[in-house]
């Protein structure tokens, strides 16, 4: 009985930004828990390669190519998929980007891109899919936040602002949509070895600092995010709403 609470067999999950990194790892983890997967990205070639790799493991995988920052494109893609393939039960809003520069020199266009990619996309995809979930009276939304939801570091102030906003948007989603049977929560990774952090992983000075700053003493591995994502996507979290779970090796609770 207890293990069945985490079983995703018969569910379909859309993971945005899932051709690589955390999104790809979460998609694979949800598939191994029984879910049918819908991969999303803007680069069709990368998406096809990711899809092929998961299909080789025997999973059922769909590809949905759309730009998460384009409100109309998002709505059209999701409405069409729901009408022609079937319902999407789980949404993982993972698409995101980073740009590093001192705040006093931060380019305005880069700031705008961060707002659109990291915040607006959560609204666009969340709203488009929630309309279908509300009609069904059930649904799971997992918004990928960050350790920067709670903390800040030099050179990434706009990114920190966007991830703080994602956590508050998650609270708003739960407040509006829990009454319709939806659970909307955040998952906040700490420092993980991903393409987004490649420059930091390659920097011995930063990696040394991180090992000393993090109680666990190391970078996170993307597969260590999967268990929390499965929990938030499954019946096990049926009364969990509006919260953000930090998976960060303890960095956000330690001085």
> Which of the residues are catalytic?
159
Integer Cα distance of 90 and 169 in angstroms: 17
In what helix (H) or strand (E) does residue 141 lie, and over which residues does it extend? Answer: strand 139-144
- Are 159 and 114 a contacting pair, CB within 8 Å? yes
Nearest to 90 by CA among 153, 18, 1: 18
- Reduce the secondary structure of 158-226 to three states and give it as a string: HHHHHHHHHHHHHHHHHHHHHHHCEEEEEEEECCECCHHHHHHHCCHHHHHHHHHHCCCCCCECHHHHH
């Amino acid at each position: 009985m207890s293990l069945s609470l985490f079983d995703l067999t018969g569910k379909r999950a859309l993971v945005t930004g899932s051709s690589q990194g955390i999104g790809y790892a979460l998609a694979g983890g949800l598939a191994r828990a029984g879910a049918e997967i819908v991969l999303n990205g803007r680069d069709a070639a990368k998406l096809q390669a990711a899809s092929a790799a998961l299909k080789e493991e025997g999973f059922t995988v769909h590809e949905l190519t759309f730009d998460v920052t384009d409100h109309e494109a998002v709505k059209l893609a999701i409405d069409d998929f729901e009408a022609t393939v079937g319902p999407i039960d789980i949404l993982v809003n993972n698409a995101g980007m980073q740009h590093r520069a001192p705040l006093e020199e931060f380019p305005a266009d880069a700031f705008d891109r961060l707002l659109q990619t990291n915040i607006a996309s959560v609204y666009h995809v969340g709203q488009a899919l929630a309309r279908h979930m509300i009609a069904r009276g059930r649904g799971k939304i997992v918004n990928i936040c960050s350790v920067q939801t709670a903390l800040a570091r030099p050179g990434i102030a706009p990114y920190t602002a966007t991830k703080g906003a994602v956590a508050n948007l998650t609270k708003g989603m739960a407040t509006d949509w829990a009454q319709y049977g939806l659970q909307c929560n955040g998952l906040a990774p700490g420092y993980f070895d991903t393409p987004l952090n490649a420059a930091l992983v390659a920097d011995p000075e930063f990696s040394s600092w991180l090992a000393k700053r993090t109680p666990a003493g190391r970078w996170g591995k993307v597969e260590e995010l999967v268990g929390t994502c499965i929990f938030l996507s499954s019946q096990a979290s049926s009364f969990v709403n509006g919260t953000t779970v930090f998976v960060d090796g303890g960095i956000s609770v330690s001085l």
